Structure 1
């Protein structure tokens, strides 16, 4: 965040910061007593506290920049720095709110790309394991895609692309978990829909080979031999050395089906879907 700090050559004047505490519920909020100070002094004092990882004090001082000098360039930058300090403090809701406030007031500001990125990272860092609701994961995906769409050539977009791959793998994992549960519960058609989602929507993730194998299992259970053969052939064509293909191959050959005899085609995946041509 050094790009937004004033240069060290500027003198940081010593200040006495008056802190008044007020109780709000179970949280103690701190506020600065109003003492008019130059914008450079306030901003630099906030940056010093940020470097020291004293995030509550940094937030107070950045907010004071906005309060005392609301129309200055430093006030605009302080909004983003407040979002960053909240993010570093793992107060993700406040980080998102601060970044969104900046974007609503300065949609074309020079820090807008970073504000979008902070929102995405705040959602991304809250992603939970696949055993729980994935609403936050979906919000993270949308926010990360927003970064890559708006700023495709930025360093933020490059990092967002890497995170998108991780998010897709997470969402695919959730689909697989639900699909396996349906399969164990003998709700085979419901399981098929989950595995198809992985194959068609999250086909670049690590879950695709297993999803194809589960489709082979499911289609054989339903008596849909052509679809099972197509899924197995697709699995063998794309992942010939995987353990999932070996398992599918055994299942299919027991049914007198040979996935290796099916000519691989780019559109073979269509045959996996019921009604595919």
Structure 2
């Protein structure tokens, strides 16, 4: 019996001895500055996963100080470049909450806008291949609001000009997306819904290329619904503003 126990213990020790070696932490003993510089270098080399890991190690080991604060922001950018929009947004929201008066808060809002903008463009690309009357525009609107916050709170920010350009683009795309919905309703003879959506476009996105086709949908809807006076009024608006075919 004792011999069996000894043999069993020997086998266990042998298995332990042959087991995998523990992974060596190459960052052990590194200072906050060294961790930060290493993470920045990984970012420069597009090794985003490694950079994210090192930013997280930095903050966990050295939670106080300028490097930890900067890591909270930079990890959001790293996630953004790594195409992890949800993680990027979570990191940026955390940075803003923890550092509401930091000099780079405008940049955090700018990155939030970009992260949602990227997701919104992907959504729009898919919309034009779907035959649905409605869809979730919250990503596009969230991006729009992120850029609006930046411009409202930091009108002199160096990111203001680009944010305005993104707002113009988003406004046009939101109008185009709503126009597709209005056309969907019209194609199914849902004229009340088509009229309501067209009215929303006209009121919400003046000056965009979606207004004229929205007026035409509204005109068709009024005619189909027997609202002759409203149809005549709409025709006059079209003639007055688009008589040159613009």
Query: What range describes the TM-score normalised by the shorter chain of this pair?
Result: 0.7 to 0.9
- The question of whether the paired residues in 2 share the 8 Å contact of 1:209 and 1:242 is answered with no
**Mapped pair 1:196 → 2:189:** no
CA 1:233–1:154 in structure 2 vs 1: closer, same or farther (change >3 Å)? farther
- Post-superposition Cα deviations, 1:45-74, rounded to whole Å, max 9, x if no partner, equal 111111000001111122222122211111
Equivalent positions of 1:113-124 (< 5 A) are: 113-124=106-117
- How many residues were matched structurally? 215
Structure 2 stretches lacking a partner, 5+ long: 1-21
Match of 2:153 among 145, 150, 153: 150
Give the Cα–Cα distance (whole angstroms) in 2 for the partners of residues 32 and 225 of structure 1. Answer: 77
TM-score by length of 2: 0.80
Aligned to 1:154, the other structure's residue is in SS state coil
- The question of whether the paired residues in 2 share the 8 Å contact of 1:83 and 1:96 is answered with yes
Partner residue in 2 for 1:134: 137
Equivalent positions of 1:2-151 (< 5 A) are: 20=23, 35-127=28-120, 128-129=123-124, 130=127, 131=130, 132-151=135-154
Give the Cα–Cα distance (whole angstroms) in 2 for the partners of residues 138 and 215 of structure 1. Answer: 24
How far the C-alpha of 1:34 sits from its partner, in A, is: 6.0
Aligned to 2:218, the other structure's residue is in SS state helix
Q: CA RMSD in A?
A: 2.0
Using CA pairs under 8 Å that are at least 6 residues apart, name the structure with larger relative contact order, 1 or 2.
Answer: 2
CA 1:34–1:48 in structure 2 vs 1: closer, same or farther (change >3 Å)? closer
How far the C-alpha of 1:85 sits from its partner, in A, is: 0.7
Equivalent positions of 1:110-259 (< 5 A) are: 110-127=103-120, 128-129=123-124, 130=127, 131=130, 132-242=135-245
Greater fraction of residues in strand: 1
